[in-house]
A = this chain, B = another copy of it.
Amino acid sequence: MSESARPTLSDVAARAGVSASTASLAFSGSGPVSDATKERVLAAATELGYAGPDPRARSLRRGRSGIVGVVLEQRVRTAFLDPVKIQMLDGITEGIAPLGAGLLLLTDVGAVDLPVVDTTGGVAAAPALSVENAPVDAVVLIGCSPRLSQTVAALRRRGIPTVAIEGAAGSDIPEISIDNRDATRRGAQHLRDLGHTDAAIVTLPLDPARTRGPLTAALEAGSTSDTASERLRGAREVFPNATGRSAAASSIEEGLEAGRVLLADPATRPTAIIAQSDLLAAGVLQAAEELGVAVPAEVSVLGFDGIRVDGLQHDLTTLVQPSVAKGRAAGEAVVRMLADDGGEPPASRCFTSVLHVGETTAPPRAH
């Protein structure tokens, strides 16, 4: 046992002259162990270079791994480029703090086991870590994706407590969301109150393919993104006939792209643009600047999220959503679901966004 291999708890116990069970108690602290014994065990551990109980064995026995999974819709990189997601992640971290758990990043691209032959010729037989087989105590789903239902099914089968942020996952899964529709409606109403009648919309990706292009009826009908759809509906409540563009991602670049198209022709140019995220709005602002279109004199721009886009000189009119609070709520829901008494699952929560009127909206220029 004490070859060159790493020492185990039994080794430590043997060295300290106690049983493995006692050594375990000495370590976990949860149990009546005399100080003398405890010290002896700890001393033996030090002498042997014992690094503490193996987390794998511990988690098998305890049934808990101390890990909370976070499922992102896309590549890790993509998620990290979106300030809103980052804020939510941070909120989750706060929310699960009482658990002392770690965050495991997972994507929901499905468990495709890669038949990889590594450079040394060995074959990695292990299937990729996914929501199907990750050693997590609970999972937070961020955003909805085409694979959402499969992901949820797998989690349900495994009996893993799950919370969803922005994405209807099923009745038994608490959902943390915001008033996407009503908030957008209020933002749109603000524009209408200013006198705008001709607004265009720049949406978040609507379909799994993340189609970039004009906002067609077909695209809208086939939307798989609740968030985008709801915000779109809210805008339509005020501007029923608004057209626009669908972006391939929530990014400044995509906003720039859409803005260029929408603002290109002075004749058909809308007097207001409703962007479904601040990043998109920032892109639109850049496009306006590029094209020499004055904001807000010639075109008003409305964002969504309320992130501070660093380096952006404008004070954007936007719908400020409590991203961190959402993440925290999700984390707290996880904590509650993991509580010993295992009470009833926490209720879904819907947060409220606040319209922040900045300097990017104004009455349309009189003709």
Contact = CB atoms under 8 A, between A and B. Distances in A.
B75 A159 contact: no
Interface in A132-187: 132-135, 154, 157-159
A17 interface: no
Q: In which size bucket is the chain A interface?
A: 35 or more
Given A51-B154, A120-B343, A30 B125 contact: yes
Interface string A271-314: 00000000000100010000000000000000000000111100
Nearest to A335: B118
Contacts of A56: 56, 59-60, 63, 65, 135
A63 B60 CA distance: 12
A201 B119 CA distance: 44
- Between A54, A56, A118, the greatest number of chain B beta carbons within 10 A of the residue's beta carbon is seen for A56
Nearest to A101: B129
Contacts of A195: none
- Give the copy number: 2
A181 to B, nearest CB: 28
Nearest to A85: B80
A65 B57 CA distance: 11
Contacts of A30: 125
Nearest to A86: B80
B80 A133 contact: no
B55 A133 contact: yes
A76 B55 contact: no
Contacts of A63: 56
Interface string A54-72: 1111011001111101000
A89 interface: yes
A353 to B, nearest CB: 21
10 tightest A-B CB contacts, nearest first? A100-B128, A77-B90, A102-B129, A55-B135, A51-B157, A51-B158, A311-B311, A80-B86, A56-B60, A98-B116
Interface of A: 6, 28-30, 49, 51-57, 59-60, 63-67, 69, 75-77, 80-81, 86-87, 89-90, 93, 97-106, 113-114, 116, 118-120, 122, 124-129, 132-135, 154, 157-159, 251-253, 282, 286, 309-312, 335-336, 339-341, 343
